[in-house]
Structure 1
């Protein structure tokens, strides 16, 4: 590859979060992640027109993982490409593309245990129906290790980086180490102020792999995640900022792991706290955010640590 491939961020506002997709301006253009149902028509079409590109020409839809704000617009985007784009997702997260109900089931399996909201399932169902543009079968399932040709001499390698979800992947533009990770590098979290991941051990391993093996020259994040001071990093990180973000994510995960192990050994205790049964962990870490706000990363992460603790103790 002689000239660097241009990458353009595509932003879609949604609630408290800024949703970011990225346009890879290759001979066979790609969009990484799709926002929600309204994102392709309302955000991507005008953004691409502004740089002289057309959404109809997109040939790859690369999904970093299966969460609602990253694949919600996939069906709508695919339709705007006249169904010519290939839709790529890791096999572990593919059920979330195939079924809206899978998102509700995921809520019931984890967060419903800790959040007292009798209307939660109904609300989750309504959100899935509204935010996900349509259920669909992916064109290509990946496991990590694949190389995708985006035309000419542009290739993208697929790296499995589980932790945030079981099927999280990084897409790397080969030769320039532009790395798209979705939500796999959480730092100190986004608007909720706490990092969210399902599997602590996998998250830790994936961060180390990205830092030591992939070594991004440019790191692209799905949201403007924040540092310890609460200041957003932005979503386009250079080499130094990328390394700081990866190390900061690892450092905070280590602090969380140490705290939960101490309190889990003592036994969980229910209380009136909104953080129950993990209130001592929130107190030690200085977390004062509202843990019930979706996507409620506090409880997702605590549940992951509890599962890991029960499996290893």
Structure 2
């Protein structure tokens, strides 16, 4: 926990220190930010107990967007939180109330067996327990203001949450990925996520710039944890978004486009890891980033197929 009552919870999705949820505690009341998968629910309830709260003390479940590593456990968790309301982006709420399309899309990508292994059976959230928030809207947790802004670029149904108390953002995937294994003497290593299917480079850069306009002291990333040096990391994200777009355009039209994309991204990240003095060799860096390289390549492919909007 940091001094502002923010608890980082490892949801145990895929590996340790890969996927985080957060618990904000204010005057005996709680709010979760993202929740991992169904398999994460016992860990979130245990975190409540550690923080001295009961499930009835939770007022909000704030879902940054509906990708299953962020919101797959929302329906099951809400069944355990009798007084909570789920807060969602206008484009996200329908998929939490009726997750059929979400399930079908993810199953098409991962297959039924992997869906059950990684996510479990996705549960709907009753419509009367879902609160849709608009861009710029503020809610309160025991008097603590939490502001929601629309942050497209990674997904069109994504918001980020400004916590004025801690002068920090809860960023979902908009402010990229930064794994603690890659921290080194030059600081945190960060990269954007373009995973399918709604990567939009210019809106993503605009969302990052909008968050910077609040002069944040820190960012709380789902993947993974709290990071500082925000302006420096924002510059790194902008540079890489441009570099990833250039790689995508250079690979477009090739018969081996996906292989070209994965090779280009791997080379980009290894070069930046060297610059950042990441304390792992190339093979170890590739192991940490293997899933993200594959998903980013897929996302860039979808972006190209949409006609580079």
Shift in Å at residue 263 of structure 1? 3.9
- CA 1:286–1:172 in 2, change beyond 3 Å: closer, same or farther? closer
Q: Following the alignment from structure 2 to structure 1, what is the Cα–Cα distance between the partners of residues 99 and 136?
A: 28
Structure 2 counterpart of 1:96: 95
Structure 2 counterpart of 1:31: 32
Q: Following the alignment from structure 2 to structure 1, what is the Cα–Cα distance between the partners of residues 81 and 152?
A: 29
Tell me which of 110, 122, 125 is aligned to 1:132.
122
Work out whether 1:161 is the aligned partner of 2:151. Answer: yes
C-alpha contact (below 8 Å) 1:100/1:129 kept by paired residues: no
Which has more helix, going by share of residues? Answer: 2
User: 5 Å matches for 1:204-283?
Assistant: 204-211=205-212, 213-224=213-224, 235-238=225-228, 240=229, 242-264=230-252, 268-271=253-256, 275-276=258-259, 278=261, 281-282=264-265
Shift in Å at residue 203 of structure 1? 1.4
Instruction: Report the secondary structure of 2:244's partner residue.
Output: helix
C-alpha contact (below 8 Å) 1:219/1:236 kept by paired residues: yes
C-alpha contact (below 8 Å) 1:189/1:196 kept by paired residues: no
C-alpha contact (below 8 Å) 1:187/1:248 kept by paired residues: no
C-alpha contact (below 8 Å) 2:36/2:69 kept by paired residues: yes
Structure 2 counterpart of 1:285: 268
Map Cα deviations across residues 78-136 of structure 1 (whole Å, 9 max, x no partner). Answer: 12112x21101111222432344323554589xx6xxxxxxx54446546871534454
Q: Following the alignment from structure 1 to structure 2, what is the Cα–Cα distance between the partners of residues 39 and 188?
A: 21
Q: Following the alignment from structure 2 to structure 1, what is the Cα–Cα distance between the partners of residues 296 and 268?
A: 11
Structure 2: gaps spanning 5 or more residues: 182-189, 271-282
Q: Following the alignment from structure 1 to structure 2, what is the Cα–Cα distance between the partners of residues 204 and 91?
A: 21
Structure 2 counterpart of 1:8: 7
Q: Following the alignment from structure 1 to structure 2, what is the Cα–Cα distance between the partners of residues 129 and 50?
A: 25
Shift in Å at residue 77 of structure 1? 2.0
Tell me which of 126, 129, 135 is aligned to 1:144.
135
Structure 1: gaps spanning 5 or more residues: 113-119, 225-234
Structure 2 counterpart of 1:229: none
Q: Following the alignment from structure 2 to structure 1, what is the Cα–Cα distance between the partners of residues 97 and 158?
A: 16
Q: TM-score, normalised by structure 2?
A: 0.76
Shift in Å at residue 66 of structure 1? 0.7
Instruction: Report the secondary structure of 2:169's partner residue.
Output: strand
Instruction: Report the secondary structure of 1:29's partner residue.
Output: strand
Q: TM-score, normalised by structure 1?
A: 0.75
Instruction: Report the secondary structure of 2:38's partner residue.
Output: coil
Map Cα deviations across residues 44-79 of structure 1 (whole Å, 9 max, x no partner). Answer: 222222232222210111011111011122122212
Q: Following the alignment from structure 1 to structure 2, what is the Cα–Cα distance between the partners of residues 141 and 252?
A: 33
Aligned residues: 277
Q: Following the alignment from structure 1 to structure 2, what is the Cα–Cα distance between the partners of residues 279 and 70?
A: 24
- CA 1:107–1:60 in 2, change beyond 3 Å: closer, same or farther? closer
Q: What is the aligned-residue RMSD (CA, Å)?
A: 3.3
Q: Following the alignment from structure 1 to structure 2, what is the Cα–Cα distance between the partners of residues 183 and 130?
A: 22
- CA 1:76–1:177 in 2, change beyond 3 Å: closer, same or farther? same
Tell me which of 169, 194, 208 is aligned to 1:179.
169
Q: Following the alignment from structure 1 to structure 2, what is the Cα–Cα distance between the partners of residues 286 and 52?
A: 41
